[in-house]
């Protein structure tokens, strides 16, 4: 599994360097993790765990992503469906290259204003930034940024689709 993760991250980095669309490996990985009934397409219930805003906008995002209107999101529709997800944008670009691009002052940390450059969460950006700031220092380092980007997919893979509220 560790070897797959390393190869997976390398393919993401390579794709980001050449400015490619989300890598086929990333798309296959997401589809495999989310497609619980293994029919090669996602129902609304299978899609919702991928959508950070599912509680409020999951149905809308699903319908927008279901470009052929068949009631499912197929592999070729998945990237379009996920375009409003910050975690997907980061993984598609490549974690390290995305971090380097938005870390304006090269201090190896992101503040909330730098994070907003990649965030797809609109006015919820601050809330997601604070949730990703594990050590509560007001910045995201590369480890926190990586955990934030990969977290949604890891939770979908493990079957845990919601995070426990922080105390």
Answer whether residue 10 shows pLDDT above 60.
no
CA distance 120 to 65: 16
Q: What is the pLDDT of residues 64-120, one digit of tens each?
A: 999 999 999 999 999 999 988 889 999 999 999 999 998 877 788 999 999 988 887
Q: What is the mean pLDDT of residues 10-34?
A: 70
CA distance 50 to 102: 24
Confidence band of 15 (pLDDT split at 50, 70, 90): very low
Long-range contacts of 122-126 (CB under 8 A, 24+ apart): 124/53
Q: What is the pLDDT of residues 29-57, one digit of tens each?
A: 999 999 999 999 999 999 999 988 777 77
Q: What is the mean pLDDT of residues 7-25?
A: 54
CATH code of the domain made up of 2-158: 1.10.238.10
H/E segment holding residue 113: helix 112-115
Q: For residue 52, what pLDDT is reported?
A: 82
Distances (CA, A) of 7 to 10, 22, 50: 5, 15, 22
Answer whether residue 158 shows pLDDT above 90.
no
**Whether the Cβ atoms of residue 128 and residue 84 lie closer than 8 Å to each other:** no
CA distance 135 to 26: 29
**Whether the Cβ atoms of residue 46 and residue 37 lie closer than 8 Å to each other:** yes
């Amino acid at each position: 599994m560790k070897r797959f993760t390393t190869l997976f991250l390398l393919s993401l980095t390579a794709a980001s360097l050449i400015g490619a669309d989300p890598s086929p490996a990333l798309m296959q990985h997401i589809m495999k993790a989310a497609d619980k009934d293994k029919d090669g397409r996602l129902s609304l219930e299978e899609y919702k765990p991928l959508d950070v805003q599912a509680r409020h906008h999951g149905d809308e995002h699903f319908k927008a992503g279901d470009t052929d209107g068949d009631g499912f999101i197929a592999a070729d529709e998945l990237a379009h469906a996920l375009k409003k997800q910050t975690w997907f944008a980061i993984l598609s670009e490549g974690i390290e290259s995305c971090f380097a691009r938005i870390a304006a002052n090269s201090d190896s940390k992101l503040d909330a204003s730098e994070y907003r450059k990649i965030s797809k969460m609109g006015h919820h950006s601050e809330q997601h930034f604070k949730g990703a700031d594990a050590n509560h220092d007001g910045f995201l380092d590369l480890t926190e940024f990586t955990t934030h980007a990969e977290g949604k997919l890891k939770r979908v893979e493990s079957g845990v689709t919601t995070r426990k509220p922080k105390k």
